[in-house]
């Protein structure tokens, strides 16, 4: 597993794993659901699946749950 991670890093493959509470970015995230939350609208509430970029291009967007507008 360690070798796989180092091979991916050598080839500029970077993980997209937004932290809960970070701002939703439609270029790197895909909103799977919108839920009522105490957070600011369009904020990441949870990550369902990590995403990946290669050389700053999105291979797979991170699948996230986003807070709903109040």
Mean pLDDT of 2-17: 92
- Residue 57 sits in which domain range? 2-67
The whole-model pTM stands at 0.85
Look up the CATH number of the domain holding residue 38: 2.30.22.10
User: What would the 3-class secondary structure string for 44-62 be?
Assistant: EEEEEECEEEECCEEEECE
Distances (CA, A) of 26 to 8, 40, 66: 24, 16, 11
Q: How many domains does the chain have?
A: 1
Provide the 8-state DSSP code for 40.
Answer: P
Tens of pLDDT along 44-60?
Answer: 999 999 999 998 899 99
């Amino acid at each position: 597993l360690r070798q796989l991670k180092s091979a991916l890093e050598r080839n500029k493959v970077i993980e997209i794993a937004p932290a809960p509470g970070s701002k939703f970015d439609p270029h790197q995230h895909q909103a799977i659901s919108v839920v009522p939350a105490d957070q600011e609208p369009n904020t990441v509430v949870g990550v369902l699946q990590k995403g990946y970029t290669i050389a700053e291009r999105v291979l797979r967007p991170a699948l996230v749950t986003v807070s709903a507008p109040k």
